Amino acid sequence: DSGVTQTPKHLITATGQRVTLRCSPRSGDLSVYWYQQSLDQGLQFLIQYYNGEERAKGNILERFSAQQFPDLHSELNLSSLELGDSALYFCASSKGRRTLYQETQYFGPGTRLLVL
């Protein structure tokens, strides 16, 4: 158990709908990262937040948005869902300190999204 929690574990929805995925980082971690992993694919970095502020952005679609709240949990919002959005969505966390070397990221268990 990494200490990172994600809810829900599974989500089934229809095309055109909107869903919200939730992540709580490890105790003491200020930074949250979101990744998308499609079937048999690698991990695509979506976005990173540090202490409530967006810090880095990857290939995140305009239909997707995220935020980090004062209690440091984060939500990833996916709207106008398409079949191709079906994937595992992982959240990871780290302390987020500005150090010479990137810190280890600890991954949550993921949310499996199925768009029908």
Partner 1 sequence: GENVEQHPSTLSVQEGDSAVIKCTYSDSASNYFPWYKQELGKRPQLIIDIRSNVGEKKDQRIAVTLNKTAKHFSLHITETQPEDSAVYFCAASTPGTYKYIFGTGTRLKVLA
12's tokens: 């089934």
Single out the residue of 5, 13, 20, 55 in contact with partner 1 (rule: CB under 8 A).
55
Residue 115 C-beta: closest distance to partner 1, Å? 18
- How far is residue 1 from each of residues 23, 59, 108, measured CA to CA in Å? 14, 28, 8
Torsion, CA 39, CA 63, CA 30, CA 21, rounded to 10: -60
**Of 22-30, 49-57, 65-73, 74-82: span binding partner 1 (CB under 8 A):** 49-57
Cβ proximity of 64 and 22 under 8 Å: no
Check binding of 64 to partner 1 (CB under 8 A): no
Pick one of 3, 8, 58, 84: the residue that binds partner 1 (CB under 8 A): 58
52 binding partner 1? (CB under 8 A): no
The three-class DSSP label of residue 103 is: coil
Would you say 27 or 104 has its CB closer to partner 1?
A: 104
In angstroms, what is the minimal distance from the CB of 26 to partner 1?
A: 13
- Contact region for partner 1 (CB under 8 A) — 21-29, 67-75, 79-87, 98-106? 98-106
| Measured CA distances, 16 to 27, 63, 76, 104 (Å) | 35, 11, 16, 36
